[in-house]
Amino acid sequence: MSQPSSTFIPANVAILTISDRRSAEEDSSGDYLQQAVLEAGHQVIARTLLKDNLYQIRAQVAVWIADEQVQVILINGGTGYTQADNTPEAISPLFDRQVEGFGELFRMLSFEEIGTACIQSRALAGMANQTVIFAMPGSPRACCTAWEKIIKQQLDARHRPCNFLPHLKK
């Protein structure tokens, strides 16, 4: 088992916003994630916004999974419970392994903020080709909860007792 590092190791991150309503200029959740990633010391090497189309989402994520430079993919949007929310169906088939605890922990933390409405969040995470993929709701508040309370620590090589950095592409 790999031990956490004693030094910070920056990761290469791609950010994908899923929205049928927002444009790149109005992507406050993507803006938040980009700023948070950079403030944490990581690099944002790709960012895009797509309409909620299962096949376009799957294609973009597959390209990033295959890219030797992309280590982390952060997806916001498309994880709700409406017929138009396709992110889980788009990305789940791409996973080599699901990170079950992410969705569970996200919903637990969200319960403190939005009560039982959290059961309609289908936030999820997984690993594919040594790339960790986190999918969260598209609201800035949900992105902040996911980043500040879960993802930030899991992308810090110094975080004990474990983090995702030893499992990512080198």
Digit-coded pLDDT (tens) for 70-105: 999 999 998 988 888 999 999 999 999 999 999 999
* Residue from 61, 40, 77, 46 nearest 155 by CA: 40
* Residue from 48, 35, 61 nearest 134 by CA: 61
Task: Name 112's Cβ contacts closer than 8 Å, sequence gap at least 6.
Answer: none
3-class DSSP assignment, residue 15: strand
User: Can you tell me the mean pLDDT for 60-75?
Assistant: 98
- Report how many domains make up the chain: 1
Each residue's pLDDT tens digit, 99-130: 999 999 999 998 888 888 887 789 999 999 99
Sign for the CA dihedral angle at 54, 59, 65, 70 comes to negative
pTM of the model: 0.94
Task: Name 126's Cβ contacts closer than 8 Å, sequence gap at least 6.
Answer: 91, 92, 94, 95, 96, 97, 98, 99, 132, 133
Distance from C-alpha of 64 to C-alpha of 44, rounded to nearest angstrom: 12
Q: What percent of the chain has pLDDT over 70?
A: 97
158 assigned to some structural domain = yes
126 assigned to some structural domain = yes
Distance from C-alpha of 30 to C-alpha of 138, rounded to nearest angstrom: 9
CATH of the domain at 63: 3.40.980.10
Each residue's pLDDT tens digit, 17-37: 999 888 888 899 999 999 999
Q: How confident is the model at residue 151 (pLDDT cuts 50, 70, 90)?
A: very high
6 assigned to some structural domain = no
Domain that holds residue 84: 12-167
Distance from C-alpha of 154 to C-alpha of 50, rounded to nearest angstrom: 26
